[in-house]
Structure formats: C-alpha cells, structure tokens
A and B are shown apart, each in its own frame.
Chain A
Amino acid sequence: MVQVENSGSYTIRFRFKKMGSLQYVSHLDLVRTMHKIVVRSRLPLKYTEGFNPKPKMVFAAPLSIGTESLCEFLDLRLSERVDESVALEALNRNMTEEMQAVEAYYTDTKFTDLRWLSYTVSMKTAGASDELCERINAALSSDVIEIEKKTKSGIKPVNIRPLIKSADAFFDGEQIRIVCLLSADPSEFLNPEYMVKYLRESVGVLSDPCLINEYYSILREEAYTADMQKFR
C-alpha cells in the first residue's frame, strides 16, 4: 500500500480468541506473528517512525504461555477507514482456526479502562470433591494471600488478595472449576498462574510435580471495566 503523506489515522479494535495449540505461543511471538498477519491482510496500515518501522498496533493484557483466551484485544492503526466486516474478514483469512477475530469495531475507549479479567481455571486433581472446593474457597477468601512475585527489582512477597475480586470453586463431577475475577490493572496485574501456584502450595491440589495424571488449564473469558461493565 502506498502511504499518502496526509493520510488519516483510525484505530480499529479486534476482539479475538487464542485457543488450542496457540496457547503455547508467547506474547512476544504473538506480536511478531501479528505484524506479519496484518501485512498479509493488505489493510491500509500505519507504521511507526524511526529506524525500524513496524505496523502500529497495541495489545491489551498479555497472555502467558498455557492460558487460552476468548477475550483478546488488538488495536490496529489504519490510514483509511475500512468497513468493519471487511477488516474482520481480511484478518481472519490470514489466520488459522485457533486464532480468529470475533469482532471488529471502531472505538475510542482505552485499554487502561480494562480493569478486571474473568478466568475459569479447570483442575483434574486427586481428591477432587465438593469438600476440596470448600477448602479452596476458604483459602481464596482469607484476608492475606501471600505469594512470591517476580518483579523488575527481584522476587518480592506480595499480598494478592485485593487483586482477586471474586473466586468460586465448584466440582462438576470430573474437574474442579474455579471461576474468578482477577485484576487486570497493568500496575497490579494478577496472572492466574500465581493463584494456581498458591493453591498447590497451601491447599495441596495438583500435588504431582510432573502433572501427568493431574493437570490444569486456564481460560480467559471476559474483560470488565472498573464499574464491572463488559469492556469493549
């Protein structure tokens, strides 16, 4: 696409899912992959300035390896306003089944408005029962939940209780499901892996270190604003 000097600037937002084997692609690799996807889509992109221009895009909350998601957001800067369904189709045509955009729209809400993320953590663990769920719920509702968090200045003990808005464990007959709402505020982001780690250490779920007969999976489902409206 030829970049016209005085081209406009439009931000189109995509909501997409990242499922199945794609949970093993890191966020960094996702960013690199998305650069190529948008180029293949032939959408009228805007590029960053400087020595190493890349298509202008921003992702919302990063996703860890091992977490699937129905709720990923990408803001893509365009030089022309493109019809939403055309943009959606253009992007999806260049991706596989496991990563598809479900919605494309123009908006001026910011990713900083995204404050809470809901997850379902599923566990196939020894001793899965209603009683185990009660113990999990008790552990997650205590005032202090201390974990060792990796920060830029080293490993620090952090109380993550305030970062759990709600958590409810129930047993569906086969697996333990924990439906929870965790903080997505960038300065206080809670990765659900920390919650799983805490439960392994304090409640004793998933006690097999090799996790062959036991396993867990995490699904990111929905995003919310500070006043609990669905983030869009």
Chain B
Amino acid sequence: MMDKRLKTLSSGQSLVEYAFLLALVGLVAILSLQLYGVAVWDMLARVTVVFGDAPEEDSDSVLYSEDFNDGLGDWVSVNWGRRSSENWATEGGRLVADRFAGIFLPGEEFDDFRYSVDDVDLTATDDRWQGASLFFRADNGDGEDISGYSFRIQRPSENDPGRIYISEWANGYQVSPWLEEVEAPPDFDWEGSYDIEVVANGSRLEGYIDGELVITAEDDTYNSGSVGLYTHSGSSLTAEGLEVSSLGAN
C-alpha cells in the first residue's frame, strides 16, 4: 500500500515538473519573440482567425458627425502659426469661416477612417491662395502648433495655377517637400460647391473631390489623431457638415 502511495506521489511530482518546464519553455519563446519585435498578441490573434471564423468587417460606420445645426459643437477655433483669425461660426446650419482660420476637433483619436466635409463653398477674398485644407491624424499640441497631415485644395485663380497636395505638418510647420502634389483638375467647376474627402488607410492617404480620387500619398509618420479644417488666406468658406466614418469592407 505504501509503495503504491509512494509511486503515485512520485508520478504527481513529475507532472508538476513537466508543467513547470512547459511554462518555462513558453516564457522563453515569448520573450525571444518580443526581443525581435514580434507582437505576440497580434500573432495569437492571427492564429485564432485561421482556426476560427474570420471576424465580420464592419460596414462603414459613423465614428463622428457634426451638422452644425446647434453651433460649433465640439469644435474649437485655433491659432496655428501665422493663422491669426478665429472667425468661425455657424449660420443657418452651415459652418462659416473667415479667411486664414482653423478649427480642430479635440479629444478624438482616429486611425483608419474616411473624413468628409460636405457641400463646401469657397468665396475668393484675394487673387491667390484660394482654398481650404482638411487636417487629419492631427494633434493640436498646445493649441498653437499642429502636427499631422493635411489634404490641401488650392483652386485656380489669377495668380495661382491651382494645386492639390497632401503634406505633413510638424509643430505648426508644413513640411517641405510635400508628400505629394498634383495640378488642380482644369475642367472642374470650382465656382460651385463640392464635397471634399480624405481617406487614411495605414500608410496610404487619399484625397477625393466629389467622390473622385484626385491624389494619393504614402507616409507612416502619423498613425492616428483627430481632424481639423482651415481656410487659406485667399478665401472664406461655408460647409454643410463634417463626418468621420470607419473604413468598411467596400
């Protein structure tokens, strides 16, 4: 009887040792992978996807929207560098901005998304620098200096051939050279109103006007951030509303 008990105890102790050994092997594997920069949890997530049902991708879902029917809402006007105007307001449910002014949406963090500004109407105040820009993946810093990306539309004018570009910003400076620059579409009706949209998907950045892709750029400096909007020194702006939505399976 005692021999049997001794043998049982001996077997149990071996099981404990084997379990301890397995745990140590697992720890060595995890720490080794981490040392080489492999994200272990990401790997596990991919493994579970292989063996399980792939998660359903969300269709485009609205992450944030503002129709400006009740004022500026969460948006704050800002001074960015030489942009000294704070003249943003709402009128009849439309966003109204003076020239050379910026607004920013604080407290939000979007990584991959679609950011659209609807029914934009630019009114020239000068013979150049007529346009507006969408800030995205942006950080407003201390309220004076912005970092992130901008999708900038510079429509043709008497002293400006018209350009569209995507650029990087750092501490309130627009970084030169721009990430990408193209000529403004020559046959586009700039006197009317149009929808401006930017899509950020990983390192790929896309700009759209009225649903048409007009520019793309690749950059991985900024992975997430909030959104903003600013007018250039040669025009004022009105817009119907803004929306940020996730990227669906489309």
Partners in one complex: no
